[in-house]
Amino acid sequence: MSQASRDSLAQLHTELKDILSVGGVELGAELFAALKVIDENGALRRAVTDPTVEANRRQELLGKVFATKISANAVDVLQSLAGARWPTERELGDAVEEMAATAVVYSTEQDGLAGLEALTQQLLEFNHAVESSHELQRALTEQQVPVTSRGDLAVKLVSDGAMEATKVLVRQAVELPRGLKPVDLVRRFADLSAQQQRQWIADVTVARPLQQAQVDRLAKSLSNTFGRELTLNIETDSQLVGGIRIQVGDEVIDSSVATRLNDLNTKLAG
């Protein structure tokens, strides 16, 4: 995916976060089903990615195609994607796929960090089982076998206690890998889950070890600031000189002396 498309997708993730967060596995499954329709209909793909067609017309087209087939929230996601410009038809499909997988990943956050960790682990365990068996690899990609049968086999490979989110994602990877090996797509889904885990972990770097009372106060303050219970990953770095550096996902709070000195040197050099 081009950098411009990746930037557009990142913006859409922010705009659609509330819908994706509440939609859960059901929304993800609906978007995966819509992706199948889009992938199988070249005329539709071309119309929705045609830069000469106004955004509202592209959105109206998808609304007409899917209004009676999927939920209003799923249609909203598709129309938001149609409103953006995608250089290729493939990139539109990739965007729908990522939004669908993201909704499924978000569904595990009701259990906080533990849910995300479990999803990531189950997906990686599926890959390990498949990659260790040539027989399974053939069975999951055998074109003479009905695609739903291959999907059923994929679901059977995950543990009995696996989350519904895991089952939906491995089935999608096997039934509609979109030119990838199923294990490669599963790994992509696992990476999405791992990235979301970072939103629940605060990487804290300090110059000197903190007392437990300080750790407790910091944890409470950060959890209040970010609106969720964060797990603190604290490291000591003597080169920090003083202050503290905190990173939660892509957000960084840096009040270290080293950073302030670097900033000052940059300004002086300029």
Q: What is the 3-state secondary structure (H, E, C) of 32-57?
A: HHHHHHHHHCHHHHHHHHCCCCCHHH
How many other CB atoms are there within 10 angstroms of residue 68's CB atom? 7
User: Tell me: the pLDDT tens digits for 174-218?
Assistant: 999 999 999 999 999 999 998 888 777 788 888 888 899 988 998
234-244: average pLDDT: 80
Predicted confidence band of residue 251 (pLDDT cuts 50, 70, 90): confident
| pLDDT at 208 (0 to 100) | 85
| pLDDT at 233 (0 to 100) | 82
| pLDDT at 268 (0 to 100) | 44
| pLDDT at 248 (0 to 100) | 83
pTM of full prediction above 0.95? no
Looking at the chain, list the stretches that DSSP marks H as alpha helix, in order from N- to C-terminal side. 3-40, 42-49, 55-66, 72-83, 89-106, 112-131, 134-141, 147-157, 164-175, 182-197, 212-226, 257-269
Instruction: Show me where the domains of the chain are located.
Output: 3-197, 207-269
What's the whole-number average pLDDT of the chain?
90
Predicted confidence band of residue 13 (pLDDT cuts 50, 70, 90): very high
